[in-house]
Amino acid sequence: MSDLVFGLDTFGDVPEDDSGAPVSYAAAIRQVVDEAILADEIGVDVLALGEHHRPEFSVSTPETVLAGIATRTSRIRLSSGVTVLSSDDPVRVFQRFATLDALSHGRAEVILGRGSFTESFPLFGYDLSDYEVLFEEKIELFARLLEEKPVTWSGTVRAPLENADVFPKTESGRLTTWVGVGGSPQSVVRTARFGLPLMLAIIGGAPERFAPYIELYRRAAEELGTIAHPVGMHSPGFIADTDEEAREVFWPRYRVMRDRIGALRGWPAIRREEYDREIESGSLYIGSPETVARKIARAVAALGVGRFDLIYTAGTQPISARLRAVELYGTKVIPMVRDILAG
């Protein structure tokens, strides 16, 4: 278990400053850069940034922020989480991440997904009814681009390519590429079909209920004759010095965010009991380093995953509390999880 990979994941939520006022978007982006530099120093393995097109989040172009992080860090892997491939162009995505890979001496990773939000579809002129065909065709084209040879391709979702060679080329010859999946068995099978590693978004309920997806991924890879890579999971959480502090800093701000998004999706308002239950037995990794480490170790062992990414922001959690959460994750939680799993 020593090769277990630990990541931090954020969408660049706009935080509060010390007076409780939201900072500017520009300051929110620079905050992510500062947190990444800290994470790199204290031994976090991966920093992942999600692509969103909503006012709560400052990151709409993860690779641009990751490039800013690349020149200030030396070890941490730089990932998206996720890149909404369906509403982007695979050629551009490849170019941007190959450039990031060069800038970071091979530390770039892209996690391709369909996105759990849908804002990018109208924004970039795509129809939600094409959700399936957009992802299917684009991932197929992206898989071809990953070979780094001239590509001839035609389909319905972008202009055809005829012997198109795309630059820059990577040093390793292959850009690290994952597929992010929320809960669709079909997406799991597709990921296995392309022989790509699987990142599961587990954002509510007991993590154990995702075991069948991992089993499906392994079985599908075996049947299709592709490689089943170690599976990753990403879940939300927050760490403070005590359980109580973590819960109380997170709750009011999380609640606002959760209810705003819930309103769009027809969810009832979240109650405190649900919040506490998610912390006890669900998918909120909130508490002191000991509490969070025990919970992560349990989930990792139950699912047999090779990577755990903590989404450490969900709402306007203040800058100082965020930095402390990053620090505790790197300096305390990660070594504790390793100890528990080795024990």
Partner 1 sequence: MATRDFELGLNSFGEVASDGGRTLSDAETVRLIVEEARLAESVGLDAFSVGEHYREGHNDSATPVLLAAIATATDRIQLGTSVTVLSTNDPVRLYQEFSTVDAISNGRAQVVLGRASATESFPLFGYDLTDYERLFEEKLELFMRLQREDSVTWSGTVRAPLVEQRLHPRMRPGGIPTWIGVGGSPDSVVRAARYGLPLMMAVIGGRPQRFAGHVELYHRALEQFGHPAQPVGQHSLGLVAETDEEAIETWWPYWQPLVAQLARERGFYKPTRERYEAELDQGALFVGSPDTVARKIATVARDLRLSRFDLKYDILHLPRDARARTIELLGREVAPRVRELLAKEPIHV
> Tokens 């306007």 correspond to what residue?
316
Greatest CA separation for the chain: 59
Which of 280, 341, 326 shows the shortest CA–CA distance to 2?
341
Q: What is the DSSP letter of 147?
A: T
Which of 1, 72, 260, 263 binds partner 1 (CB under 8 A)? It is 72
The DSSP secondary structure of 39-71, one letter per residue, reads: HHHTT--EEEE----STTBS-S-HHHHHHHHHT
Which of 175, 2, 181, 217 shows the shortest CA–CA distance to 79?
175
Report 6-25 residues binding partner 1 (CB under 8 A): 12, 24-25
CB of 244 to partner 1, least distance (A): 33
Which of 4, 8, 23, 28 binds partner 1 (CB under 8 A)? It is 28
- Please report whether residue 122 would count as binding partner 1 according to CB under 8 A: yes
Under rule CB under 8 A, how many of the chain's residues touch partner 1? 58
Asked if 294 and 340 touch (Cβ cutoff 8 Å), the reply is yes
The stretch among 66-74, 183-191, 221-229, 239-247 that binds partner 1 (CB under 8 A) is 66-74
Which of 41, 89, 245, 290 binds partner 1 (CB under 8 A)? It is 89
The stretch among 52-60, 207-215, 257-265, 313-321 that binds partner 1 (CB under 8 A) is 52-60
Q: Of 147 and 241, which has the nearer Cβ to partner 1?
A: 147
Which of 221, 259, 269, 258 shows the shortest CA–CA distance to 236?
258
In a 13 Å sphere around the CA of 108, the CA atoms on its Cβ side amount to 32
Report 158-187 residues binding partner 1 (CB under 8 A): 158-162, 164-171
Q: Of 36 and 305, which has the nearer Cβ to partner 1?
A: 36
Q: With H, G, I as helix, E, B as strand and everything else as coil, classify residue 159.
A: coil
Q: Of 160 and 266, which has the nearer Cβ to partner 1?
A: 160
Which of 1, 39, 7 shows the shortest CA–CA distance to 340?
1
CB of 61 to partner 1, least distance (A): 5
Asked if 141 and 156 touch (Cβ cutoff 8 Å), the reply is no
Q: Of 89 and 245, which has the nearer Cβ to partner 1?
A: 89
Report 248-287 residues binding partner 1 (CB under 8 A): none
CB of 223 to partner 1, least distance (A): 36
Tokens of 296: 């992560």
Binding residues for partner 1, rule: CB under 8 A, are 12, 24-30, 33, 52-55, 57-61, 63-65, 67-72, 89, 91-92, 95-96, 98-103, 105-106, 122-126, 158-162, 164-171
